[in-house]
Amino acid sequence: MTPFKTIKPSTLDRDAFISTFADVYEHSPWVADTVYQAGVDETLDYVEVMHTRMSQAMLSAHHDTQLALINAHPDL
C-alpha cells in the first residue's frame, strides 16, 4: 500500500478534508464529503484505500447525482 507523502487524511477536519479532496471528482465535493461522513480512520492515509472509498461513494450515489457529476465536466 502507498501512503500519502505530504498529508495524513485521517488527521484532517471535515473542511480541510473536503478542501483537499474536493476536486478528485471534478466539481463534485460531495464525493469527498460522503467519504468523510462515512468515517475517517488511519486506513484513509493510503492512496489505494482513498481511491476505493471515493469510487464507492460515487458509484453508490443516486443515478441523478452521478449524471450531474458527468455533466459538471467541460466538453472536451
Q: Which residues are catalytic?
A: 73
Contacts 24+ apart (CB under 8 A), 40-47: 40/9, 40/10, 40/12, 41/10, 42/8, 42/10, 43/10, 44/9, 44/10, 45/3, 45/4, 45/8, 45/9, 45/10, 46/1, 46/2, 46/3, 46/4, 47/1, 47/2, 47/3, 47/4
